[in-house]
Amino acid sequence: MRADLYRLTATEILTKVQDGEVSVEDYASSLLKRIEARDDAVQAWAYLDPAYVIEQAKALDAIPKSERGPLHGVAVAVKDVIFTKDMPTQFNSPVYTDHAPKVDAGSIMVLRQAGALILGKTTTTEFAATTIGPKTRNPHDPKRTPGGSSSGSGAAVGDFQAPIGLGTQTGGSTIRPGSYNGIYALKPTWNAITREGQKIYSLILDTLGLYARSVEDLELLADTFMIYDDAPALQNFSVKGAKFATLKTMVWPSVGPGTSAAIDKATTLLRENGAEVEEITLPDHLDDLPAWHAVVLASEGRTAFLPEYAVAKDKISPQLVGHVENSDRISRKAQVEAFDKISAARPVVDEILSKYDAVITPSVPDEAPLGIEKTGSAAFCLIWTALHTPVVNVPGFKGENGMPIGLSLVAPRYHDRRLLAVSKKVGEVFEKEGGWTRSI
């Protein structure tokens, strides 16, 4: 057995399994050895049963080739706010310690039917709703956060403990860990992937997100979840001759030197590779998008956490208690205004985005900050969550301390596949010439 099978992308291991070159059991064993070697340093897992992983792998190996699904044997790390019928779902909450509902989320049903190997459950902040970090550490520097709330999935994929991870995003919980861990992350168009069977913070904002170390793997998952655009798949996209824009948005004053330098370098690299790049801004009347997002978040939280408040108020964080008790004193009038203003903003922003192959904007203020107590700022992500647009974090740059920094590529709603095709070619440029190289 090759000892380094764990380093393969999902697309690479899928080919080897399909060709009979590698068994799922050997692949799973390689991943488990990687996890064993790195778990003390990274601590990405909320639940992992190695014996059960091997049992699943053997069962997959026993399936005749003619009956195998499109993800046969591909290992997936699952954020622990998503139900799995054969593993606990605990939400990083004492209210749900050892909680094990015997049901799969809709996303897990799709993955299992496609032949995926559900590896285990990864860490999250409490209910994927707070900024207090779990035990997980950044694989590139254990003194730093991997981001949140999808902390474990981002770290596991970044550390080669899984090729693919599931996250969720209500503010920046998929894209931020993507940047901090130096991997690709897709926040698809809102509700492009079923959210049935996962903890909901905000019905209007929550989006299931995906992690991988290549765009090909994200495309593989997009196929599995039947994410398609109206237009045919984009073929033979080239950076040369393409049209991009950079957008600093209304929260640019919170940017750090690493991300500012990354935007400048990205612009230079794209131009050197034959692309047109211009700088754009959003209309002034959208400057309050972050404030509207905050109103929606707090208002939706009143509903989302009432059940836990009702049965175990003393066991949930003060932030969530505050949502239920409306400690911010948000009126229903203000709530409706925020809902409506965000809704009105979406077609306006779609129209702006549609003029370019992609719009490039920060994923994070800077590289992952020191300390694991806080998961970092979602300031640059949350407006895109509110606007429901697809976003891909593309790695390739680094900060002053050598930590990875990614940039977000954004497109209009339901242009996910076009955005992935563009991100693949842009990623080739950024990874080759952006200055960051993976050291683990």
**pLDDT block averages, 10 residues each, the chain of length 440:** 89 97 98 98 98 98 97 98 98 97 97 98 98 96 98 98 98 98 98 97 98 98 98 93 98 98 98 98 98 98 98 97 97 98 98 98 98 97 98 98 98 98 98 94
- Determine the Cα–Cα distance for residues 373 and 368; give it in Å rounded to an integer: 12
Give the C-alpha distances (Å, rounded to integers) separating 221 from 116, 163, 225, 228, 327.
Answer: 11, 12, 6, 11, 40
What predicted TM-score, i.e. pTM, was given to this entire model?
A: 0.98
Looking at residue 3, its pLDDT comes to: 74
What does DSSP assign to residue 362? E
pLDDT digits (tens, 9 = 90+) for 141-159: 999 999 999 999 999 999 9
Q: Are strands 404-410 and 207-212 parallel, antiparallel or unpaired?
A: unpaired
In which element (H, E) is residue 120 found?
Answer: strand 117-122
Phi-psi category of residue 346: left, alpha or beta, with phi > 0 → left and psi -120 to 50 → alpha:
alpha
Looking at residue 2, its pLDDT comes to: 76
